[in-house]
Structures are given as C-alpha cells and as structure tokens.
Amino acid sequence: MSLELRQVSVDYGSTRAVDSVSVTVETGTVLALVGPSGCGKSSLLRAIAGLVPLAGGAVAWDGDELTARPTEQRDLGFMFQDHALFTHRNVADNVGFGLRMRGVSAVERKARVQELLAMVGLDGFEARSVEDLSGGEAQRVALARALAPKPRILLLDEPLASLDRARRDELNDELARLLRELRQTAIYVTHDQDEAFAIADQVGVMRAGKLVRIGTPAEVWNDPRNEFVARFVGHESIIERGGQRFAVRDDAVQFVDQGSGIAATVATCRFQGDRYRIVAVDATGVRWSGWSSRALDVDAWVGVVLDEHRLAPLD
Ligand code: ADP
C-alpha cells in the first residue's frame, strides 16, 4: 500500500508553487520534504490534504483517487507549527476531539486518550488546561490529537519550529521513535536538514517547486547528484577533476601536518562533542571542511588529504 503523487502541480494565480511532482510514499514510512523557504513544501502538503486545488496531476492512496475528495474524507492527521489546540478545553477533550467526531463512545475515548497521552510522555495530563502547557507539551498534545483517530497519513508542517533548540531535538527524536513504532505513514515538512535526516526513511529535496532529489538520508548525503542538493546537505565545496565536478563530502577530507597534501590555513575550528569541525582554505580559495580528533590553531598551516573515492560526482 502507498500514497502516490502523480505529476502534482499547484498554482497561485500565475505563480507555479509546485511543479509536476511525482513520488510514492510506502505505507509505514516517513517522507521528509526539505528545501529552502518558498520552494513549495507546504503547498505540496496542502495539495495532498486537499486544502488547495491541483493545477495538474493526481493524488491516490493504493490506487484509490483522492483528488476529488474533500479534506475530511481523506483520513488524514495534521500537526502544524501553530498547534491550534482548543484553548477553552482541557487536554483530554483536545486529544479525544477527533474520536468524538467519529462517534467513539465516552468509555472507549477515555481509554484511548489515556493510551495516547502515555505514548507522547504526558501521562496523567488529562484534566490540565491547555493554556498552562509549555510549548513542547502543547505540541505533544497536538501530536496525540492528530494520532488519535489512527489516520492513514499524518501530515506534519514544521511541527517543531516554534520550540527552542534543545526542546526541538528532544521532541524530534521522540517523534522519530514513535512514528517508527506505530509504523505511521507520514509526510514531514521542514527547512531543517538535521531534523529531516533524523526522522525520515526517505528525504525529498525541493527547489523552486520541483522535487530535485529523493532517496534515503544516506543516499542523498552520499550522492546528492546536483550542486543545489550537495550544498543543502552541507557539502561546502565543489571541485573539478578531469572535467567532472564533485561535491566534497567532509568524510573525504583529512587534515595532516603541514608539508604533505594540499597546503591550507585553518579558518575555523569548532569543538563538537568528541571531535573538532575544521574549515581550512587553500591558496585557490577552496574551503575544505572536515573533522579532526584534535584542535587545530586558527591561521595555522595544515595539509589537506583527499580520499578521491569519497567525492560525490555531480550531474
Ligand atoms: P515552503 O513551504 O517551501 O516555504 P510554500 O509552499 O509556502 O513554500 O510556497 C511556495 C510558493 O508559493 C512561494 O513562492 C510562495 O510565495 C507562494 N505561495 C504560498 N502560498 C501562497 C498563497 N496563499 N497565495 C499566493 N502565493 C502563495
């Protein structure tokens, strides 16, 4: 079973926001849509939801056309940056809202709400007012609410964007674990490459309305294929060897003592956990970024050795 997008396009007046995107999302997998602001991620999500009309193409679930169906008949769950909880209701009523709409009995609802709150780490929060929740807690409630009716597909649009960095990382990890455990089919929109890579089975990189690369996080990182994607995933330099262009992955770069390799000077050295992130610049201006187990002095000379097998060829 799968969600299938066939040449989906979205227009706003004369602006083409999504340009003929085709992709298949297998049941139980998470697709992260990434790309810079304005590239069409949210519009594509809205097209799947039926919140904007298609200018072309089709959306289908397992061969069953959804294109003509209104949003509420597509069996979707939503989690957006602005969690839009009902502020005059308590946590339990918020989480149970979709179940109530579907006529689930009060007894069943209570049990399911309890189960969902435990799942998102909010055991015992039933009677709390949503106005007293922290940002992270509110997003957990929003997630529980979205999952409650067991939607076929969960659509998430920058769900963590309003949280601070620490809270965001924590919730991102939990979300990743939960979606995997539930085998929840999901589409996750974010401009944050780290967030996408942490959560996704497949990453789709968009640019100017087009899907320019799709693959597992490892495939996209190892072999970005085009320069835009290479830069988006953080490969800083593009070099040429024998007429072929390559993105320089940071695992291709090794820093050695001055005197061997390409001579370069250390531009930055930043401690990151158990190693140092180094950027060194050579005489031709190429920036070599990679890792070192020891700190290097800024402005000092180093040698850069390249593992040519780890260069990613570009189209
Ligand atoms: P992203 O989610 O990647 O930031 P969007 O899907 O929001 O991108 O926007 C894609 C393009 O469509 C942008 O050029 C944006 O300005 C335009 N756009 C988005 N929503 C509307 C709208 N309601 N009316 C007109 N243009 C829009």
- Distance between CA atoms of residues 259 and 263, nearest Å: 7
Which protein residue has the closest C-alpha to ligand 1 atom 10?
40
Shortest CA distance to 54 belongs to which of 66, 62, 64, 63?
66
Which protein residue has the closest C-alpha to ligand 1 atom 21?
12
Shortest CA distance to 190 belongs to which of 28, 55, 44, 4?
44
30-75 pLDDT tens trace = 999 999 999 999 999 999 999 999 999 999 998 889 999 999 999 9
37 lines ligand 1 (CB under 6 A): yes
Which protein residue has the closest C-alpha to ligand 1 atom 14?
38
Q: Give the pLDDT band (50/70/90) at residue 83.
A: low
Q: Tell me, what amino acid is at 149?
A: P
Residue with tokens 């620490």: 166
pLDDT over threshold 90, residue 236: no
- Cβ-count burial 54-92 (b if 16+ within 10 Å, e if not): bbebebebeeeebeeeeeeebebbbbbbebebeeeebbb
Is the CA virtual torsion 84, 88, 90, 92 positive or negative? negative
Which protein residue has the closest C-alpha to ligand 1 atom 26?
12
The stretch 202-208 carries a mean pLDDT of: 97
d(CA 43, ligand 1 centre) in Å:
6
Look up the pTM and report it. Answer: 0.91
**What is the chain's mean pLDDT, rounded?**
94
d(CA 228, ligand 1 centre) in Å:
20
Q: Give the pLDDT band (50/70/90) at residue 80.
A: confident
pLDDT over threshold 80, residue 92: yes
Which protein residue has the closest C-alpha to ligand 1 atom 5?
40
Top mean-pLDDT range of 77-81, 101-105, 295-299: 295-299
40 lines ligand 1 (CB under 6 A): yes
Residue 279, both tokens: 């950027």
User: Which atom belonging to ligand 1 lies closest to the Cα atom of 45?
Assistant: 6
Pocket probe mutation, ligand 1, options 43, 81, 192, max atoms within 8 Å of Cβ: 43
> Domains of the chain by range and CATH?
2-222 (3.40.50.300), 237-313 (2.40.50.140)
- Distance between CA atoms of residues 203 and 220, nearest Å: 7
17 lines ligand 1 (CB under 6 A): yes
Is the CA virtual torsion 302, 252, 39, 146 positive or negative? negative
d(CA 155, ligand 1 centre) in Å:
17
170-184 pLDDT tens trace = 999 999 999 999 999
d(CA 11, ligand 1 centre) in Å:
9
- Distance between CA atoms of residues 48 and 68, nearest Å: 11
Which protein residue has the closest C-alpha to ligand 1 atom 15?
38
Percent above pLDDT 90 for the chain? 87
22 lines ligand 1 (CB under 6 A): no
125-170 pLDDT tens trace = 999 999 999 889 999 999 999 999 999 999 999 999 888 888 899 9
Shortest CA distance to 128 belongs to which of 105, 144, 108, 147?
144
pLDDT over threshold 90, residue 14: yes
Helix/strand/coil (H, E, C) string of 172-218?
HHHHHHHHHHHCCEEEEECCCHHHHHHHCCEEEEEECCEEEEEECHH
Backbone φ and ψ for 185, nearest 5 degrees, come out as -70, 130
53 lines ligand 1 (CB under 6 A): no
The stretch 257-285 carries a mean pLDDT of: 95
Q: Tell me, what amino acid is at 139?
A: Q
The stretch 264-284 carries a mean pLDDT of: 95
Which protein residue has the closest C-alpha to ligand 1 atom 25?
12
Quote the pLDDT of residue 165. 87
Residue 93, both tokens: 């009523």
Judged by DSSP in three states, 62 sits in: coil
Q: Give the pLDDT band (50/70/90) at residue 253.
A: very high
Q: What is the DSSP letter of 129?
A: B
Judged by DSSP in three states, 220 sits in: helix
With contact defined as beta carbons under 8 Å apart, do 189 and 41 qualify? yes
